[in-house]
């Protein structure tokens, strides 16, 4: 009898413990979705002063303006733009040499990982392709 009462009480109280789990998108997720939706032009070798550097740890992310140098289709070095207009090279202790041979796919670099669990990517927002044209809706039939 006690088991039935306990089971009923737990069953009836379950809706009170259920929480609406809405996922809040961080700056990296928002940019990644835009790149995924539209695609990006190829990133050619050169120096880019208009990149975004994302740094994620767990569910938190920061995105900073920056600069990156690309050689042979790979990110060689990247910098964060500081408030005084200067740039500071991003130097970390990298896990498994993840900062080497960093390829770029669809406008976003391969993820680099620091020994402290930080995930870093370089993104090229100026290379996002323009919005695709949407189809036009046909009119409803008339009684003519």
pLDDT in tens, the chain (144 residues): 555 544 444 444 444 444 555 557 899 999 999 999 999 999 999 999 999 999 999 889 999 999 999 999 999 999 999 999 999 999 999 999 999 999 999 999 999 999 999 999 999 999 999 988 889 999 888 887
Distance separating alpha carbons of residues 70 and 7, to the nearest angstrom: 62
Token pair 């402290």 is found at 116
Distance separating alpha carbons of residues 112 and 126, to the nearest angstrom: 21
- Does 23 fall in a domain? no
pLDDT given at position 4: 56
Helix and strand numbers (H, E) in the chain are 2, 8
Distance separating alpha carbons of residues 61 and 54, to the nearest angstrom: 7
pLDDT given at position 1: 53
- Does 1 fall in a domain? no
The residue range of the domain holding 112 is: 41-127
Who's near 76: CB < 8 A, 6+ residues apart? 69, 70
- 3 state SS of 77: strand
Name the domain count of the chain: 1
- pTM for the model stands at 0.76
Domain harbouring 120, CATH code = 2.40.128
């Amino acid at each position: 009898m006690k088991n039935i009462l306990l089971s009923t009480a737990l069953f009836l109280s379950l809706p009170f413990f259920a929480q609406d789990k809405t996922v809040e998108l961080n700056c990296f997720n928002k940019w990644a979705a835009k790149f995924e939706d539209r695609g990006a032009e190829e990133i050619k070798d050169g120096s880019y002063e208009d990149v975004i550097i994302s740094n994620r740890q767990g569910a938190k992310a920061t995105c900073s303006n920056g600069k990156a140098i690309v050689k042979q289709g790979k990110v060689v070095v990247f910098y964060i733009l500081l408030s005084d207009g200067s740039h500071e090279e991003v130097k970390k202790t990298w896990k498994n040499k993840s900062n080497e041979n960093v390829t770029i796919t669809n406008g976003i670099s391969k993820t680099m990982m620091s020994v402290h669990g930080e995930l870093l990517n370089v993104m090229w927002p100026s290379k996002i392709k323009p919005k695709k044209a949407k189809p036009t809706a046909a009119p409803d039939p008339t009684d003519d």
